[in-house]
Amino acid sequence: MSKINIEDETINIGDVWKSNEMLKEDIKGKIEIGNFDITDEAVALKKLTSTMHQYTKIELKLPNDFIAASREKAEGNDISFEEYLRNRLSGGISEGEQEEEPAEEGVEEEEEEEEAEEQEEKKEEAEEAEEEEEEEEAQEDEEKGVRPDWDNEEEETAVPQQIVKVRCHNCKRPITITSSERPITVTCPNCSAKGRLEQ
Ligand SMILES: [Zn+2]
């Protein structure tokens, strides 16, 4: 397989690096002198052209320390700086990259973490659903005008004759209850909201 230098846009043919233009000149020159053995050049030209079509040159500003470190690593890998960056950016490099070696363990840990996260999410969802149900129930009760408990703890007065003062959950007006019947359903004289008094 012939090597291609992406930066120079050249291909190694017969141990010489040739550009697109050079190959065309070679083919033309051969034909002019009646040498039609141009297969190698034609194949190389096709390969170089099709390969270069897969690349687009962009300008990219990178931090100087990253560039310096990358140059060193490229040298260590015996490849060009550009080649190193290209491999690294496309996720292709692992050779000589000691930091990325224990990646497998890391991946497993991540998976475990993800699993734990998923379970937690499910749990939260279930809790939320429960809460929603409770809210819905409370809302239904409110719509019916019935509330399980009046806010009677502080309002209750230990007066004889069982006179109890509660506060309407709806309009917040005080209501006096004279009956000793328990539990008792009380209708607010102000807004007609119903409530139940257990004790
Ligand atoms: Zn009321």
Find the 77 Cα to ligand 1 centroid distance in Å. 82
Long-range Cβ contact pairs of 97-104 (< 8 A, separation 24 or more): 97/73
Helix (H) or strand (E) holding 18: strand 16-19
Question: CB neighbours (10 Å) of residue 77?
Answer: 15
Find the 130 Cα to ligand 1 centroid distance in Å. 29
Amino acid letter for position 121: E
Q: What is the pLDDT of residues 22-51, one digit of tens each?
A: 999 999 999 999 999 999 999 999 999 999
DSSP H helical ranges for the chain: 20-32, 39-52, 64-76, 81-89, 103-144
Q: What is the pLDDT of residues 59-110, one digit of tens each?
A: 999 999 999 999 999 999 999 999 898 888 887 655 454 444 444 444 455 5
Q: Residue 109: which residues within 8 A CB-CB, separation 6 or more?
A: none
Find the 167 Cα to ligand 1 centroid distance in Å. 8
pTM for the model stands at 0.43
